[in-house]
Amino acid sequence: MNTPLLDIKHLSVSFETDEGRFRAVDDISFHINRGESVGLVGESGCGKSVTALGITRLIPSPPGKIESGQVIFEGNDLMLRKPKELRQVRGAAISMIFQEPLSALSPLHRIGRQMIEAIGFHRAMPKKAAWEYALSWLDKVGIPDAGERMFAYPFQLSGGMQQRVMIAMALMLSPSLIIADEPTTALDVTTQAQIFALIRQMKQNDTSLLLITHDLGVVWEMCDRVIVMYASKIVEIGSLEDIFSRPAHPYTIGLLKAIPKLSTGRTRLNAIAGQVPSPFNYPKGCNFQERCPHAFARCVEDPALFESGKDHYAACFLVDEPGEWPVPLENAGKDNAR
């Protein structure tokens, strides 16, 4: 069967604030196949974390509200499920790894107890068997003295170790999909590298991964396909190679250029001018136009996702223009700041 494991259609999420209601995620559609690792990339405020929470309906509401959309997981629309059914799905079929392990683990309970609680909720396993099972997973994720660690509180572990515990908990119930939101951002680069290796190893061939990050280096290490988000919308989707070798959307191009590479001394970096617009102040048409060095006349309309290559799409009119790129408008991407 070639149906995707997860198929998100026209998902929109809004939030109510003192300044009014705004859309954090605007009409997002994408899918994840079995066994695939998909990176959801974007900077602050682009809506990637909200998308992740939206999939498992973990968005606090109020103030959040899922305005529309379908989240079809293994053939069933999660949007239509009752809370009790969703709880069966979360932690087992779909598991999550968050950025701050300390916020996901209870500080008041020992690790062993937390793991057993999770196992017991989803499986009918006698306590002793659950203990052994949890212990074996701590071993698998490389936690030394696992037997003793079962009795430890989360704060007694280093950040890297805490994250390994999260990974153990995320994997031990054989999920079909793991959603990892910035799993290594709070970790040192050497620990991060170890965690990458661990996730790659542990992920069985048909477990899918949705990896949410702002760091394109992480995407490079972990993903097969990439979705780039900007200011609540998807701006580009493609394979890892498409995104890194043939980026089509000016934002993706700018982002790749802005990444600091290992250099040999003072270097002027290629910044993207300006900053993300406030969701209360999105321009008419493409949300990126004010920062785009190629903005032209058509950009005041909403761009659709145009085909840039096989299974490679970008929400940019430049992709839809035949021949040479059109002449940009006069103020296109001017850096008013230094």
Partner 1 sequence: MNTEPIHNDASNRPLLELRNLKTWFPLRRGLFFGKTHYIRAVDGVSIYLNRNETLGLVGESGCGKTTLGRTILGLETATEGDILFDGRSLPTLSRREMNRLRRRIQVVFQDPLSSLNPRMNIMDIVTEGLVRFNMVEGTRKAHAGRLVREVGLSEDVIYRFPHEFSGGQRQRINIARAISLRPDLIICDEAVSALDVSIQAQVLNLLQALQEEYRLSYLFISHDLSVVSNIADRVAVMYMGRIVETGPTADIISDPLHPYTRTLIAAVPVAGRKRIDEAAVRGEPPSLANPPDGCRFNPRCTEARPVCRETGPAFVQHGDRWVMCHLYEDEPEGRK
The only residue of 3, 16, 20, 197 in contact with partner 1, by rule CB under 8 A: 197
Structure tokens at 326: 């059109």
By CB under 8 A, residue 266 contacts partner 1: yes
| Angle between helices 159-171 and 127-140 in degrees, nearest 10 | 130
Q: Does 155 bind partner 1 (CB under 8 A)?
A: no
Q: What are the CA-CA distances from residue 274 to residues 45, 50, 292 (Å)?
A: 15, 24, 9
- Name which position in 40, 71, 161, 229 contacts partner 1 (CB under 8 A): 161
Token pair listed for 3: 């149906």
In the complex with partner 1, the residue whose CB is nearer, 94 or 295, is 295
| Closest CB 111 distance from partner 1, rounded Å | 17
Residue in 148, 204, 206, 269 binding partner 1, rule: CB under 8 A: 269
Q: What are the φ and ψ backbone dihedral angles of 109, each rounded to 5 degrees?
A: -120, 150
Identify which of residues 138 and 216 has a Cβ nearer to partner 1 in the complex: 216
Please tell me whether residue 281 binds partner 1 under the rule CB under 8 A. no
297 makes contact with partner 1 (CB under 8 A): no
Strands (E), 42-88: 64-73, 76-77
- In angstroms, what is the minimal distance from the CB of 89 to partner 1? 32
Q: How far is the CB of 93 from partner 1 (least distance, A)?
A: 28
Stretch that binds partner 1, among 48-56, 104-112, 169-177, 188-196 (CB under 8 A): 188-196
**Closer residue to partner 1, CB minimum distance, 13 or 216:** 216
Are the C-beta atoms of residues 183 and 211 closer than 8 Å to each other? yes
Nearest to 233 by CA among 167, 285, 182: 285
Strands 306-309 and 233-239: unpaired
Q: Which of 84, 262, 323, 330 binds partner 1 (CB under 8 A)?
A: 262
337 binds partner 1 (CB under 8 A): yes
Binding residue for partner 1 (CB under 8 A) from 86, 102, 256, 329?
256
Q: 159-171 and 189-202 helices cross at what angle (nearest 10)?
A: 10
Shortest Å distance, C-beta 283 to partner 1: 17
Min dist. Cβ of residue 85 to partner 1 (A):
37
Cα 222 from chain centre: 12
Which one of 84-92, 130-138, 193-201, 314-322 is the stretch in contact with partner 1 (CB under 8 A)?
Answer: 193-201
Residue 156 neighbours by CB under 8 Å, 6+ apart: none
φ/ψ (deg, to 5) at 112: -55, -45
**What would the two tokens of residue 23 be?**
């859309």
- Residue 40 dihedral angles phi and psi, to the nearest 5°: -110, 105
User: Which residues in this chain contact partner 1 in the complex, by CB under 8 A?
Assistant: 43-44, 158-161, 188-194, 196-197, 214-218, 220-221, 244, 254-256, 258-273, 275-276, 336-338
